[in-house]
Amino acid sequence: MEAHASHESLFRRLEQLNEIGAALSSERDIQRLLEKILVAAKTITHADGGTLYRVTEDGQALRFEIVRNDSLGIAFGGTSGQPIDFPDVPLRNERGEPNNAMVAAYAAINDKTVNIADAYTEAGFDFSGTRKFDERTGYRSRSFLTVPMKNHEGEIIGVLQLINSLDPDSGAVQSFSRAEQRLAESLASQAAIALTNRQLIVQLEDLFEAFISLINLAIDEKSPYTGGHCQRVPTLTMMIADAVNNTCDGPLAGFAMSAADLYELKIAGLLHDCGKVTTPVHVVDKATKLQTIYDRIGLIDTRIEVLKRDVQIAALRKLLELRPKADAAAESACWAECWQEIGALDEEREFLRRCNVGGEAMSPEDQQHVRDIGTRRHWRNPAGVEADFLSADEIENLTIRAGTLTAREREIINHHIVATIRMLEALPWPKHLKNVAEYAGGHHERMDGKGYPKGLTREQMSLQARMMGIADIFEALTARDRPYKPGMKLSQAIDIMRKFAAGGHIDPDLFEVFMRQGVYRRYAEHFLDPAQIDEVEIL
Count other Cβ atoms within 10 Å, centred on residue 421. Answer: 18
Q: Residue 423 in contact with residue 380, Cβ under 8 Å?
A: no
- Is 401's pLDDT higher than 70? yes
Host H or E run for residue 177: none
Q: Predicted confidence band at 292 (pLDDT cuts at 50, 70, 90)?
A: low
Q: How confident is the model at residue 289 (pLDDT cuts 50, 70, 90)?
A: low
Average pLDDT over residues 208-212: 87
Domain boundaries, the chain: 2-200, 223-274+408-532, 297-404
Read off φ and ψ for residue 496, nearest 5 degrees.
-65, -40
User: How many Å apart are CA 363 and CA 14, to the nearest integer?
Assistant: 81
Which strand (E) or helix (H) includes residue 482? none
User: Between vectors from CA 125 to CA 121 and to CA 126, what angle results, nearest 5°?
Assistant: 95
Give me the pLDDT at residue 262, please: 94
The pLDDT of residue 526: 92
* pTM listed for this prediction: 0.61
The mean pLDDT of 346-373, rounded to a whole number, is 87
Q: Does residue 32 surpass a pLDDT of 70? A: yes
Is 53:64 a contact under the CB 8 Å cutoff? yes
Phi/psi of residue 113, nearest 5 degrees: -75, 140
Q: Report how far residue 390's alpha carbon sits from residue 396's, in angstroms, rounded to the nearest whole number.
A: 10
CA distance 323 to 342: 23
Q: Given this model, what pLDDT does residue 27 score?
A: 60
Please give the backbone phi and psi of residue 408, each rounded to the nearest 5 degrees, phi first: -65, -45
Query: What does DSSP assign to residue 27?
Result: -
Distances (CA, A) of 278 to 45, 212, 506: 60, 16, 27
501 in Cβ contact with 511 (< 8 Å): yes
Please give the Cα distance from 113 to 104 (Å, whole number).
9
| Per-residue pLDDT at 5 | 45
Least confident of 306-310, 413-417, 479-483: 479-483
Does the pLDDT at position 535 exceed 80? yes
**Adjacent-strand bridge partners of 148:** 159
pLDDT: which is higher, 371 or 281: 371
Q: Which of 135, 185, 133, 143 is nearest to 167 (CA)?
A: 143
Q: What is the pLDDT of residue 332?
A: 87
Of 71-85, 307-321, 378-392, give the range with the top mean pLDDT: 71-85
> 336-353 in b/e burial notation, b at 16+ Cβ within 10 A?
eebeebbeebeebbeebe
Query: What helix, strand, coil percent values describe the chain, rounded to 5?
Result: 55, 10, 30
CB 441 within 8 A of CB 416: no
Give the model's confidence band at 2: pLDDT under 50 very low, under 70 low, under 90 confident, else very high: very low
Distance separating alpha carbons of residues 379 and 169, to the nearest angstrom = 107
Query: For the segment 193-203, what is each residue's pLDDT rounded down to a tens digit?
Result: 878 888 888 88
Residues 6+ apart with CB under 8 A from 237: 265, 266, 269, 467, 468, 471
**pLDDT (tens digit per residue) in 445-503:** 999 999 888 899 999 999 999 999 999 999 988 887 555 556 789 999 999 999 999 99
Angle at which helices 519-527 and 224-245 cross, to 10°: 150
Strand 378-380 vs strand 173-174: parallel, antiparallel, or unpaired? unpaired
Is 2-200 in CATH node 3.30.450.40?
yes
**pLDDT band for position 166 (50/70/90)?**
very high
**Res 21: pLDDT:** 59
Question: Is the predicted pLDDT of residue 509 greater than 50, yes or no?
Answer: yes
Count other C-beta atoms under 10 Å from residue 535's C-beta: 8
Q: Which residues contact 441 (CB under 8 A, 6 or more apart)?
A: 417, 420, 421, 424, 425, 453, 465
Pick the CATH number of 223-274+408-532 from 3.40.190.10, 1.10.3210.10, 3.40.1360.10, 3.20.20.70: 1.10.3210.10
pLDDT computed for residue 218 by the predictor: 75
Identify whether the C-beta of residue 488 lies closer than 8 Å to the C-beta of residue 478.
Answer: yes
- What one-letter code names the amino acid at 231? Q
pLDDT tens string 40-86: 889 889 999 999 999 999 999 999 999 999 999 999 998 888 999 89
> Region 496-519: what's the mean pLDDT?
94
pLDDT band at residue 144 under the 50/70/90 scheme = very high
pLDDT tens by residue, 214-244: 887 777 666 655 557 778 899 999 999 999 9
